[in-house]
Structure 1
Amino acid sequence: MARRKNMKRRRIILGNTFYLIRENGMDNVSLQMIAEKSHISKSLLQSYYPHKSKLTSDIVHNLFNTLAEQVNSYDEVNRTNPYARTKAFIYTIASLGMNDEGLDRIISEVFISNASLDNWGSMLNNWLQVNHLFDGLNIDENELRLGIAFITKGAGRLYYERKRYQFTAEELADYATSALMFSFLHCSTKEIDRTLKDGHNIIESADMNSVHHAIDTMFDEGKEIFS
């Protein structure tokens, strides 16, 4: 019973933190604001989350996991190669941020923080491994990890400065996927062209309204949460 109560309160705290940082940005949300929104004392909040960094890290993890689940459910995702699925994942992140001011605050701040970028890159690597996306392909795992780190930082910088460069979400996903395939995994131009087309087909099959709803409700009762 105590553990269930503990998780219920964590769910409430995370949900309220997510709401507040969507409204105000990470830097403009304090532990006191989160405690007041959650109708608890700051000291009780800190018994669950002593530092805001742990809270924001859990928010990012839950956002990433929710996005990963949604990408895995796209209609065309299992009919294409793993590189195309990677493009769809990058597109989904960029598209949501470009079309939702609140999510943009979170995604932008993730992409300008080296610690958060490293965390995001690690989660992307884990997603690739858990889904066995590159099993059976003749690739160097160290090159793959290096490539993921590179494109995470590069795509993050481009996302943050997208208005300056006038990138669309798909153009950004194409850039990141092409860089990974060509520079690190040594794929041919033909393979890259086919992948970008397959990735486009995945994107066309995606219901972005469903993705958005999944994010809006990811801390609701009954949803699995990372904490």
Structure 2
Amino acid sequence: MGFSSNFTRELQEHKQVINNLTQQLLTSKSEMNELKQSKCKQYEDLTSQLNTAKQKLMDFHHTLLLEKEEMSKEKTTYEYNVKQLQIKLEDLSFENHVLTQEIENLNKRLENEKQNFREQVQTSSEEALQSSSIRNQENAAEQGSNELQQRHESLPKTNRDAKLSEELSESASFNELDQIQQLNNELLEAAVALKNSHLLFRDEISTYNKQHDFNQLKVLYKSVKTQMV
């Protein structure tokens, strides 16, 4: 009986230990389930965040590709514009060179015209002085002719015939003076026409300079050069 009682008591103790272990096991299992659910929830959340980040990354990559394509188009457009500006710059440089040559030629022509005009004026002045001297001589000759005419009428007929011969000779000299006077008048008219031509040419130069504003060309040249840089 003693043995049976001890065995029963030990069996009860072992059974209690087993129950305690079972309870602990159930508790641990419950905790494990809760932990598993928590980890699953965290995994789901992380998976969702990862998918969201992945989608954002894909969207960003797509946007980056679109921007890259747009930048490529802009680069092509920019290179085309630069090339066109280079062509325009070369055209402007050539046109500037041509205009510079034209201005130099016009300046040379103007200087030649001025020189010719000065020479013509000087010649006309000299001829005008000669003409004045000739007119004085004509006036003196005309006055002398009148005096000779008066004397001729007061002479006898024989002497009058001799004087008539002299008068004819003087008349030929007067005709030559008339021709010289006419030539001088033509020279004066030519000088006036040359002066008018000079004024007209100066107006043409002024109009040409107004139509070809080189300051504007320089501004445009600098603008194009700045854009190219």
TM normalised by structure 2 equals 0.20
More helix by share: 2
TM normalised by structure 1 equals 0.20
> Which protein shows a greater Rg?
2
